[in-house]
Structure 1
Amino acid sequence: MKLKLLLGTLMFTAFTAHAQVATINENFESFTTGTSAAWPQNGWSKAAPPGAGPFVYAEGTTDKVIQFYSLMAPNTAAYLITPQIIAPDGTKSLTFTYAMSAGSGGTGTLQVGLISTANTAGTAAFTSISQVYELNSTTEQTVTITVPASANQYIAFKFIGAAQHTALYVDDVIYNASSSLAVSDTKKSEDQIKFALTADHTALQFVSKTEPRKIQIYSATGTKVAEGKLKNQRFDVQTLQTGVYFVIIEGNEGKITKSKFIKK
């Protein structure tokens, strides 16, 4: 994603209470973009020190994301905070996609944790629930982690840029019941089978040395919605509704690869 240098100032807004939610499925398409947009948005909040960064804001047009941007404040944490969730009991998982923005001025880190309230004061209680993800590539990574039982009712994405003008984005956040699809805090490896949606969003186009043995597709709630084999290196998804889907790919040697895609 192309990095846009910030020319405006960040507008700070008071936190507005929202009802607790049991699940989250957010692609940020309804968010107002730009650093001057009023927050909270759709129950989501952000926390960052005042001054010349770091900033947290919605960015994009047809595929919006939440952008983190260090600007002139390297090594300073900024947070994206979910709506208040029902106190987690350890039965749900969190899935999200992240990457460095193209044009980023440096590398950074991302970590997920639980906090007590949706503001800067609440971040003092940040308790990590994930590894520290090193942000040094514009290739999107998708991870799934288990959210442990806790009295803290907000999930926070903590970003720290190692240099000025470091930027990354987060997208497609899903908090729901754990299922057999969950992969514990694991990045996509470089040797996984690669695929992409065709331009008309009717099929998954695969690129691999050997054709996978079987494809299974699950909805965001863990329901199997499709299963079968490839035909001419394609798997038909034209009957699927708009949404986020998980894919289990079984290779010829029995190796299982897990990924996801967004049907539009």
Structure 2
Amino acid sequence: MKKLLLLIFTVAGMVSANAQATCATATVITTNGTYTTGTINGTYKVACFNSATGIKGYWYSFTAPSNGEISISSNLASNDGVAKSDDTRVSIATGSCSGTLTCVSGNDDIDADNQDYLSELLNIPVTAGTVYLIEWDSRWSALPLDFTFNFTPVTCTRPTVFYLPEYVSTSSVDLYWDQTTTVPTNYQVDWSTDFAAAAGAGTLVDTPAGALAYSTVNLASLPTSSNFRYFCRANCGATQSTWSGPYYGYLPVTLPYSNDFENEAENYTDGFINFNLITTNGASTPPNYADGGAGTSVYTPNSTTAVSNLRAYFRGVSLQAGEVVTVSFKTRLFTTSTTAPASPMNFDLTVGASQSAAGQTTLVQTFTNSSDAAYTTHTATYTAPAAGIYYFSIFNNSTPGATQTFLFLDTLVMSTNLSTNDFFVDSFSVFPNPTSDVLNISSSNSADITKLSVVDVNGRTVKNLEGGVINQVNVADLNSGVYFVNIESNGGKVTKKFIKQ
């Protein structure tokens, strides 16, 4: 039976099919090959993308004969934009056509930055016996399109559901993902600070699958405040799954910090999440809506029928107790209407311990923007009550507007009342001080101490420690007096004074 199945799914060629007008009457795919849609004019149903006025759908279905992976792509030369669409969007979903669909995976553009607006979904895990609904929609074009479909049976499937990283410190992060249907021997995570590094070319970390619904791994001792990419795959012993990723992490930074959304090497966002990126130039609409001219900014829309409830989160910042942060950013309104003015939009700057609405516990300041003539600069200050990792958020809670309006945000700057050196020095503490036997060393930023030396007032080194985890030094054998402990960490060097009783 398996040999027959493999033979069936190696048949290729041009297959023409007219998918039906509704999800319930979708055309059934049974073989690998190239398919051609008709004009996209059927009923649209929300799966992986929100609805919009006038969107139509074109439907196919596939029932997985075994566990495996499917790949779907409209990235074909035949989609030339004359007789066929060169701007496509596709969703794969499970669920009920008469009820709710659950998104499995969706893709709009392969690479919008390089004007590749075709769609591609590669190596999407599927489960034996499950019906998968494939919807091409007319969000950008209702023209017919060609696409390839390929199913490959696999016994070791890759993880696909990943969660936001949880940052333990400026150099340590916990990653989480859902277990695969068949729990593997373990998982392998590959990380690198080189975003362009191929899967498997970075640092490989094994982590147990565990017994929970999700799996996790801690990446420790990463370069301080670095950005990194990571891939993950299942290791089933004799075989390994394909890699999932790349996904990206942005370790918390110390201040000062700025982000103008222009650095392609940092994915433009540099850790800012949830608002949409937009790149504009003199020929685009809106023209030059990045602060200072053409370029990249982020935006969030209002609603004309309900109060908005949209949040975006800054990259995490590591703050010292009592540190005063000044947050500055620019916003500007834009409306698609050519006859009506932009509707005012209001938003809050909040802060908390996580990139979640529940974690945003403090309102810093409320703002309103009423101008679409130019960017407006907003400034607010916040004093950290304790040392830790903090996340600032822009909360778009605009009241319903008379006109569809967008709030553009750019040029984010965060400064501190502490100099970089003062901040770093204050992040370390030694105790008890004075001490008669053991001196403990701690870092509020969870910095890893790599080397430690004790020096007397005459400059002579009386103790050296290096290697392993260093968080204390025995000074019981030293004479009474004043000493200095030189601390070297993955974030830099600092010297602290203590008294030996």
TM-score, normalised with respect to structure 1: 0.50
**Taking CA–CA contacts closer than 8 Å with sequence separation of 6 or more, which of the two structures ends up with the larger relative contact order?**
1
1 or 2, which has the higher strand percentage?
Answer: 2
TM-score, normalised with respect to structure 2: 0.28
